[in-house]
Chains A and B, each alone.
Chain A
């Protein structure tokens, strides 16, 4: 009898346990396994391939033990690892070349024939010389006056190094007026889309309102409207009254470019993903994005924060590599990729299937739920409602409930 009682108790226990645990109703049919972007079997492998294709060093994630990992990336004049910013370190500099550069840059600041000659010499510079010039700008080795003169020369030049040099000036020059001029030059055309991530990062830290306005315009020129929030802030509380008016003008210009009636319409369209960019990612832009996805695994949150900011500021094309990153072998990459998608809101709709699948990965499910909540989609809402009610993980239930809040 005791044995039978124990057996009955065991069965009852099993049933009770089952009743307690298995509260998840039958799941609706899962979306077909999203076809992972073929290139993202290994983010690192793709980065290597792109770096090789573009002839630049493969960037690395700063190690925690790296003594330079605590160096603030944007401190001018700091000792930087060049690969952190994706710059190719050219072959050892030729002293004569550096001297020529110094002479050229000095001559650019002059007027008349000397400047004309300098412009001609600058146009004749070959690629290695431009690479060094960009690197020296980045390292803060050129004075603001020289950089200012260089901007004028670059404005008259079309070439592969134009945007790189202007961007380096906008990122690194200590003089706000010069940064603003460089950003203004970048806002004049839509060339070199690969600079968008770096423009977005510079805008995050830019404290000079004039430069910030030009950075937002440079982004918009490349169909990225991640800078309009900064324009709102400046319009509401400008450093100088005329900058408030310029911020409003820039907002109106951005709205016209995006085919929207006003700034409010632009905000809505950018947030809900209505402003689609149909062209494919150019390889250098793809490398910039993958480099930042890889950076999500960094120990220092400062790099992670920057990467999250940049990736979340991108247009909807970034959803594909981020969706693939949801299956990355590194947990931090998976979680932070989901956070980026959350911040992209409607622009992340291309990652919907991957996010729904990620709900079944306990290490990323909560972040995936938050991301699904930020995408206005009926399938996402239905799945969140189900998980909010019946997920066995309290973390996931809480995340789903939070994601469903208006």
Chain B
């Protein structure tokens, strides 16, 4: 089987849709620094340049006023047990353009894999960018992920991202996204991760609501068990009138897992407002017993609650 088929199969096994033969769906399939497949649609331009070993530059341009009808699928990964993948990504969404990207990062056989993503995302006025990043790291915990992004959102633009890892091991994840929002732009940044064994998860989501009427939500949820550890450091700053936001850090732990949450809110204008909540603890007993009264044992009930929390 060639690498392309292996990547597509791994992608499907991780829950991805079979879209790679659909001419109306744009896609990119990247294994380490090899482009195994790509397809563009009108209004979207994707340029991929190989740089030094293991490193690629991906440039995504969405033309002004272009509305990309179907979500663009990006499949990144490393197939062997050991490997390195560094992606430098630059995304430019033109004025009034709209795009949704589904990125799947899959490392099904990893015992010693490093995946580094450094992204720069620019949203022009009135544009909309939705980015859903799903990770599957296999069962060994041998993946180290460093994901960093800087987002610049022009007036009236909308940025939504969700980073999720809901199955298998997490390994080591360090996630750091920072957004700067101009007037009346909106930010929604979500992270949903579960860790087990000795996984280590660090999330930092930060936003600066610089423009008047900007809105921001930073919402991170982690479920940890065994000896896994998690840390959420979310920071939201409001600097202009009517800028409003909310920071939510939730961690559910069991066994010997440990968690830390630091929500930071800064308000630098008297007409701005930011709220926050942080919660760390075990699964709520009332919810647990409610499900157990339907016949689920404690483990099954906990799974329903944790999966629900991470999907919610």
Q: Report whether chain A binds chain B.
A: no
